[in-house]
């Protein structure tokens, strides 16, 4: 279930509210373009600025629109264990296939605290849980030994989205955890290297605009066509770089606005991209062969 090109889907806004019609259209777009799973309410989905009611509604809309054609991995993480439990129970009730849990941010728990937090989440509902390690945003790294302990002790902790940027750390996770534990790339630029060390796929930002190419890269690798996978890796690399010239999801939402996939609206403290970087983004889209629409 947790493999291939899984998109960290944006939350489209219009006039300050969730654009449910466009969100449903994006779900359809991904299903038609070989995306393996939908991941709403992650970092790219601006979960930090959604109210609880909006958070739950986004997950419900994605589940309803997917019509069980592909899995929905709902982002239900929080720096409050109580809130993470509440959101997880609600996602399970709504019919999510699994939940994604960022490590608690700002409060910087110890490894023992991380273990207890994720264990409490895993025990609150009978639904698969995927850990999400991104110390650059949260301020704390989930150490491989902690991941392995959770994988061994909690049968429904089934994988990790690894965005540490360290292939050495990811290799240690792969070596320490049982064979069925899913190692998922959290950085688009590392999709192919992570597959090479035993990863199952990527939770992707760039797949919001080029889902078919990300899916084809992983498919080529799985079929043993390393040359084709490498070609797609190097083709995607400049576009991936452009997706992070400012804080995610500013560039990808701006690109989606240029491509008329959704409005480029963001919620403060995320703000419009600088004019200089918009020009860089436009060039990256053009060089990739993506046509901006009037």
DSSP SS3 for 145? helix
Contact by Cβ (8 Å): 147, 176: yes
Selecting among 106, 115, 161, 293, the annotated active-site residue is 161
Bridge partners, 160 (sequence order): 131, 183
Q: Is 161 designated active site?
A: yes
Query: How far lies 149's CA from each of 73, 80, 143, 181, in Å?
Result: 22, 21, 10, 12
Phi, psi dihedrals of residue 102, rounded to the nearest 5°: -65, 150
> 247: closest CA among 30, 40, 43, 53?
43
Strands 13-14 and 17-18, by their bridges, are: antiparallel
E strand residue ranges, 81-163: 98-102, 129-133, 157-162
Tokens, residue 112:
């023992």
Selecting among 68, 119, 132, 241, the annotated active-site residue is 132
Q: Which residues are catalytic?
A: 132, 161
């Amino acid at each position: 279930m947790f493999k291939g090109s899984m998109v960290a889907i944006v939350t489209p806004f219009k006039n300050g509210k969730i654009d449910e019609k466009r969100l449903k259209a994006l779900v359809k777009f991904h299903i038609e373009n070989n995306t393996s799973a939908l991941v709403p309410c992650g970092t790219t989905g601006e979960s930090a600025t959604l109210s609880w009611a909006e958070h739950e509604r986004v997950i419900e809309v994605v589940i309803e629109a997917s019509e069980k054609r592909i899995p929905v991995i709902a982002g239900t993480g929080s720096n409050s264990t109580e809130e993470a439990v509440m959101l997880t129970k609600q996602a399970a009730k709504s019919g999510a296939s699994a939940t994604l849990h960022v490590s608690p941010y700002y409060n910087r728990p110890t490894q023992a605290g991380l273990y207890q937090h994720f264990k409490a989440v895993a025990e609150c509902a009978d639904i698969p849980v995927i850990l999400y390690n991104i110390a650059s945003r949260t301020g704390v790294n989930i150490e491989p030994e902690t991941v392995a302990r959770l994988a061994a002790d909690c049968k429904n902790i089934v994988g990790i989205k690894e965005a540490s940027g360290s292939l050495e750390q990811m290799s240690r996770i792969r070596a320490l955890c049982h064979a069925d534990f899913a190692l998922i790339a959290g950085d688009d630029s590392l999709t192919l290297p992570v597959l090479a060390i035993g990863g199952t796929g990527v939770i992707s930002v760039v797949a919001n605009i080029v889902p078919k190419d990300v899916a084809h890269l992983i498919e080529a690798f799985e079929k043993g066509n390393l040359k084709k996978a490498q070609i797609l890796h190097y083709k995607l690399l400049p576009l991936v770089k452009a997706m992070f010239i400012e804080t995610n999801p500013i560039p990808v939402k701006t690109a989606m606005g240029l491509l008329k996939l959704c409005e480029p609206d963001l919620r403060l403290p995320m703000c419009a991209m600088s004019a200089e970087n918009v020009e860089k983004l436009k060039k990256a889209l053009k060089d990739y062969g993506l046509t901006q629409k009037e």
